């Protein structure tokens, strides 16, 4: 097993170097996160664990503003030297903003997956319905811990 260090501060949890903000919703299998914004939109991105598993990201494609995406369908795709795959929408909705910085410099996700490395903002059709499938709080922490242990992951920021 890797370095077992667990810290919980006011707004994030850390395990094996992996940061998990406590105010986000997660889909553990795809290692994606969702934040509910005050204006009713949601922001999505790749988790710290997801960026480590992918490796240094080299290419990104994000659906255009105005595009309506079904839940579970690709809203973006990312590619590294060892991995390429979709980032699926965690909610059904319309793309209202895409992160142009990520399009220009995809590895910003490796440096700051929850901040400047967000991928897309969407206006959900039915947030309450879709969010029920996502994990939050202690439930998210427990499942993330299992995932990190199962894959023997130690998180590091690519620099």
Q: Residue 58: how many CA atoms within 13 Å on its side-chain side?
A: 7
pLDDT digits (tens, 9 = 90+) for 38-71: 999 999 999 999 999 999 999 999 999 999 999 9
Neighbouring residues of 113: CB distance < 8 A, sequence distance ≥ 6: 45, 46, 47, 48, 50, 51
What's the confidence (pLDDT) of residue 29? 96
Q: Which helix (H) or strand (E) holds 148?
A: helix 137-151
Residue 77 counted as domain residue: yes
CATH number, residue 126: 2.40.50.100
In a domain, 121, yes or no: yes
Residue 156, pLDDT > 90, answer no
> Does any domain span residue 76?
yes
In a domain, 116, yes or no: yes
Please determine, for residue 7, whether its predicted confidence score (pLDDT) is greater than 80: no
72-128: pLDDT as tens digits: 999 999 999 989 999 999 999 999 999 999 999 999 999 999 999 999 999 999 999
Does some domain include residue 5?
A: no
């Amino acid at each position: 097993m890797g370095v077992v260090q667990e810290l919980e501060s006011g707004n994030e949890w850390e395990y094996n170097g992996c940061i998990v903000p406590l105010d986000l919703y997660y889909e553990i299998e795809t290692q994606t996160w969702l934040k509910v914004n005050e204006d009713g939109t949601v922001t999505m991105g790749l988790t710290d664990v997801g960026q480590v598993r992918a490796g240094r990201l080299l290419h990104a494609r994000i659906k255009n503003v105005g595009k309506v995406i079904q839940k579970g369908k690709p809203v973006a795709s990312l590619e590294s030297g060892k991995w390429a795959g979709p980032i699926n929408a965690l909610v059904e909705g319309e793309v209202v903003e895409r992160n142009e910085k990520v399009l220009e410099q995809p590895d910003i996700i490796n440096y700051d997956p929850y901040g400047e490395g967000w991928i897309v903002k969407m206006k959900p059709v039915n947030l309450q319905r879709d969010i029920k499938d996502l994990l939050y709080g202690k439930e998210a922490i427990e499942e993330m811990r299992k995932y990190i242990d199962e894959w023997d992951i130690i998180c590091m920021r690519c620099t």
